[in-house]
Amino acid sequence: MTTPTIVPTHNFGTRDPDARGYFGAFGGRFVPETLVSAVEALTEAYFEARQDPAFRAELTRLLVHYVGRPTPLWEAARLGAASGGARVFLKREDLTHTGAHKINNALGQALLAKRMGARRLIAETGAGQHGVASATAAALLGMDCVVYMGTEDMARQALNVFRMRLLGAEVRGVDSGSATLKDAINEAMRDWVATVADSYYLLGSALGPHPYPLMVREFQSVIGQEARAQILAQVGRLPDAVVASVGGGSNAMGIFDAFVDDAGVRLIGVEAGGEAITIGRHAARFAGGAEGVFQGTRTWLLQDADGNVTATHSVSAGLDYAAVGPEHAWLQSTGRAEYAWADDRAALAAFESLARLEGIVPALESAHAVAHVAALGRELGPDGVIVVNLSGRGDKDVQSVANLPGGRA
């Protein structure tokens, strides 16, 4: 097998939403008045930056020499053999500096923040990976960083809380609502409304008001650009399916993006099925949600009959979120992407089996995508080629999995 030289590249400016930030009926800018001028200025600055060769060169330099890109595309032969004999390839985002795809976006936005003159980064985090990535970018670029995190998530991702503090970030616990990711986003937005003059809100997923869903997807598009070139080099053809877990949806959008125009490639997002698809016990928006407006965007969300956002559950903090990025809602509405879910039990089984079959401990988020591979592999058979976005590594989850009833591992 020859290994071609792949330089990390992005897909900038080829699949923009409309001028108001809509992908079909989804997206937009549903923000309090004080933030309108901020998101307008951000859009303008981002559109300028993504066309600036100097900005792009600096981002590429960081991705190559600091993050360690390109990440490998690893053929997981033993996983494939256990999945109906299909050829399964893992896009190894877990091997990036800080251990998850989140760094691709955090560095891009932090460079933009610096260019815009901000001195302080505000971030929210669920599993802690985006918080760690933001704290890392802030340290590297000499900026202040405040990370909001639900207290429930702080308890289950204690290692990442320590890492963020070690990196010099201030972690502020949020105990309102369900004390998880959505509440951290609420609190981050409250901070931004008060500090909009000198702070930059570094949103971690393809969510929120325009331009965030576009910008985050484009910074993550490096995943798909690399993976597409790598699979062509290694297999000589496009895959039958690309699979990724979907919380807010940034790792999935990042890898889907390069394949959206390849009509023969199935794009499969895997949501968190939690304990059961009943209110409050899962985070599978397309399975139990409805259209609505939440945290700046029109999209699918889990809500009750009165329009209040309902509680969610997932063993994975990073997927435990009530809404999905608006571009996913659009891809689902057009049928271009399909959405499945994996429950806690399946994700935990995949977490263990990937460790034992491939020597790779995935993040619980990524384990949801891995969990979908067995059935898909059997469906496609030995001729099938599947690319899975292994969005992050599982070190952060080892302790909480070990603590689960039944005493795993």
* Active-site amino acid positions: 102, 124, 391
Q: Which is nearer to another protein, 91 or 210 (CB)?
A: 210
How far apart (Å, rounded) are the C-alpha atoms in residues 36 and 231?
A: 42
CA atoms within 13 A on the CB side of 366: 33
Query: In the set 25, 64, 166, 293, which binds another protein (CB under 8 A)?
Result: 293
**Minimum distance from residue 330 beta carbon to another protein (Å):** 17
Query: In the set 182, 285, 372, 393, which binds another protein (CB under 8 A)?
Result: 182
How far apart (Å, rounded) are the C-alpha atoms in residues 391 and 354?
A: 14
How far apart (Å, rounded) are the C-alpha atoms in residues 149 and 156?
A: 11
Q: Report which residue type is found at 112.
A: L
Task: Check if the beta carbon of residue 93 is closer than 8 Å to that of residue 212.
Answer: no
Element containing residue 121 per DSSP (H, E): strand 120-125
* x/- letters, 27..66, toward another protein (CB under 8 A): -xxxxxxxxxxx----------------------------
Q: How many residues bind another protein (CB under 8 A)?
A: 40
Q: For residue 310, which of 342, 274, 338, 343 has the smallest C-alpha distance?
A: 274
Q: Which is nearer to another protein, 138 or 188 (CB)?
A: 188
**Minimum distance from residue 195 beta carbon to another protein (Å):** 8
The strands making up 87-92's β-sheet, listed across from edge to edge, are: 73-75, 87-92, 385-390, 241-245, 266-274, 337-343
H helices of 128-200, in order, are 129-141, 151-156, 158-166, 181-195
**Minimum distance from residue 282 beta carbon to another protein (Å):** 17
Phi, psi (deg, nearest 5) at residue 124: -115, 160
**Minimum distance from residue 218 beta carbon to another protein (Å):** 22
- Does 290 contact another protein by CB under 8 A? yes
Query: In the set 89, 259, 294, 351, which binds another protein (CB under 8 A)?
Result: 294
How far apart (Å, rounded) are the C-alpha atoms in residues 245 and 369?
A: 5
Query: In the set 13, 307, 381, 382, which binds another protein (CB under 8 A)?
Result: 307
- Does 5 contact another protein by CB under 8 A? no
Q: Buried (b) or exposed (e) across 106-143, using 16+ Cβ within 10 A?
A: bbbbbbbbbbeebeebbbbbbbbbbbbbbbbbbebeeb
- Does 25 contact another protein by CB under 8 A? no
Q: Which is nearer to another protein, 264 or 307 (CB)?
A: 307
Query: In the set 129, 180, 250, 303, which binds another protein (CB under 8 A)?
Result: 303
* Region binding another protein by CB under 8 A among candidate stretches 99-107, 128-136, 290-298, 385-393: 290-298
Phi, psi (deg, nearest 5) at residue 215: -65, -45
- Does 308 contact another protein by CB under 8 A? yes
**Minimum distance from residue 323 beta carbon to another protein (Å):** 10
Token readout for 38 is 């901020």
Query: In the set 189, 244, 337, 386, which binds another protein (CB under 8 A)?
Result: 189
- Does 177 contact another protein by CB under 8 A? yes
Query: In the set 56, 78, 120, 190, which binds another protein (CB under 8 A)?
Result: 190
Q: Which is nearer to another protein, 39 or 242 (CB)?
A: 39
Interacting residue ranges for another protein, rule: CB under 8 A: 20, 28-38, 176-177, 182-183, 185-186, 189-190, 193-197, 290-296, 301, 303, 305-310
